[in-house]
Amino acid sequence: MSELVISDLHAEVGDRPILHGVTVTVRSGEVHAVMGPNGSGKSTLSHVLMGRPGYRVTGGSVHLDGVDLLALPTWERARAGLFLALQYPTEVPGVRLADVLEEAFVAAGRDPSTVPGRLRAEADRLGFDVGLLERPLNVDLSGGEKKRNDTLQLSVLRPRIAVLDEIDSGLDVDALRAVARRIEDASSHGVDADGDEPLGVLAITHYSRLLEELHPDVVHIFVGGRIVETGGPDLVARLETDGYAAWT
């Protein structure tokens, strides 16, 4: 059982405080939805968790299975089992997805020769055109293809905890379903053939559409840089009718 423990996290960007005490624990197999209006600091939270330069933590802590993530560079956070799907995936000219994943497998002490087979199987499962696997990472991919590509990375890498920043943005209905189902499967299987626990998910979104396929166990309303209410899936319905007005 893995556990990402975020405790009273405060952070600022360029001297401007954005996160004002975020506290949440995500365990293997749990899906947490974080829903909040534009500019509330959701992407900032994801960047701070992964250690993006330019963000300064001013208080609190983040631990993954007891490891102090805030003390580690980004690549070691990834090696510890944290994955981030960016709201705006980065294009990396000259580097194929398989190259990235093979390096990641080596860093994790896994057999890199299994990567091409895993990639093909997962691409098939996600309806991702295998022809696109030969392209440089995310270069000239459509918004929807980039998100499928991120999901492909996630499903081959098998992190312990995944933070998904608006993985639903820019997806058409079919792609949304494919992506959400793949993540739902990853979070709901038992311990698998490789001995992996099911995935724990922190899914940032401001639409409920994603959550029709990716079923959250817990829903957090995120306003003004912190979680202002936590509840079950019924919170989504309340949000759909009332908007964020009740919380702002």
Residue whose CB is less far from Mg ion, 42 or 182 = 42
46 binds Mg ion (CB under 5 A): no
**Beta carbons of 152 and 97 less than 8 angstroms apart:** yes
Cα distance between the two ends of the chain = 36
Unique residue bearing structure tokens 């817990």: 218
40 binds ligand ADP (CB under 6 A): yes
Count of residues that interact with ligand ADP, criterion CB under 6 A: 13
* Nearest by Cα to 126 from 167, 84, 94, 165: 167
Within 9-38, the residues that bind ligand ADP by CB under 6 A are 13-14, 16, 18, 36, 38
Residue whose CB is less far from ligand ADP, 99 or 247 = 247
Q: Could you say which DSSP state residue 232 is in? A: -
What is the pattern of x (binds Mg ion, CB under 5 A) and - over residues 3-42? ---------------------------------------x
205 binds Mg ion (CB under 5 A): no
User: According to CB under 5 A, which one of 43, 138, 151, 187 is a site residue for Mg ion?
Assistant: 43
- Burial class from Cβ neighbours inside 10 Å (0-12, 13-18, 19+) for residue 194 reads exposed
**Beta carbons of 169 and 181 less than 8 angstroms apart:** no
Using CB under 6 A, list all residues that contact ligand ADP: 13-14, 16, 18, 36, 38-44, 54
